[in-house]
A and B are shown apart, each in its own frame.
Chain A
Amino acid sequence: MAQPIHVGMADLVVSKHPATLVTLGLGSCIGLVIYDQVSKAVGMVHIMLPDSRETKNIPKPGKFADTAVPLLLEELAKLGVNKSQLRAKMAGGAQMFTMPGKDSAIFSVGTRNVEATTKMLAEAGIRVVASDTGGSKGRSVEFNTETMKFTVKTLGSSTKEI
C-alpha cells in the first residue's frame, strides 16, 4: 500500500490512484475529499475557516472554504478527471467548547465551516455522498482510493467508515 500522505492545516493535496490521504485531529476544521469514482484520482483539503472575503492576503487558499473548493477542483482537473464522475466526502466541523449562555461566533466556527463547504460544493455541482460533521468530538480521517472510503476516528469511540 502507498505511504499515507499527511494533509496539514490549510494544505491541499491531489493524487492519482493509488493513494492514502490522512489528516489528524480535526476540531472545527473540515477534512474534505473530492474524488473521481472511475479513475480514483483524489484531492484532500484541510479547511480552517468559512470565508476569505475579509482577508486581503491569502497565502494558502486551502485555509478558507470559498477558496479551497474551487482550487481543489482546478487541481483535480489538471489530473484529467471527468467532472461528472466527481463525488465529495467530508468530516469535521465540531464545536469543541460549549459555554453556557454564550452563542459566540468564536465557538460556532465549525458549524459555519460545514455550511460554507456544503454551499461551495452545491454551487460547483459536486454531490456530497457521505459526511460526518458537527457534534463536539475531534476526528482523525483517512481516505483510501482503493476502497474510496473515508475512515473517521474519534477518541473513546469506535472507528467508522463512510
Chain B
Amino acid sequence: MFEWFSMAAWSPYIAGAGIGILIWTVFLLSDHPLGCSTGFSHTAGMVQCGISGNRAREMPYYRKFIPCIDWYWMLIIGVVIGAFLSSFLSGTLTIVTVPPIFAAAFGPDVVLRFAVALLGGILIGLGARWAGGCTSGHGISGTLQLSLASWVAAICFFAGGILVAGLLFGFRFP
C-alpha cells in the first residue's frame, strides 16, 4: 500500500478516475461542484476588504460571491498540502524557479519567468471569473454534468492555450 503512495507517478487514467470519484463525494456531501477559481476570488475579496473595508464589501461582485473562508477556500489549501504530501512521499519535492521547457526556449532568467508567470496568472484570474469557472469547475465538474457552457468554456480554454503556446514556443504538432 505504502509503495503506491511513494510511486513517482500513477497512470493518468487512474489519477483521472480518482478525481471523478472524488467529485461524486463532493456532490453527495457538499451539494456543489468542485472548482478552484472561487477560492482565489475569495482571497482577492478578503484582501480588498482588509485594505478598503466596507467599500470592497459593497462591490456588486462581492455581494454575489461573498469573500470568506469556506469550502472553496479550504479546497485550495488542501490542494497545496495534498500535492506536497504526494511529491514528498515520492521524493520528487524540489524547489524550481524556471521550468525546463521555459528555460530551453527563453533562457534561465528568473525575473523573466516570474514576470511571464505573473502576467499569465492575472489573465487566468480575470478569464476564470469572466467565464464563470476554470479547468476544474468548468473543465471537469461542469463538463461531466453535460453543462453546455462548460463544454464551450473548456474548448475555449484549450483553443486559446494552444494558440498562445504555439506563438510562444513554435507550433510543434504533428
Say whether A and B bind each other.
no
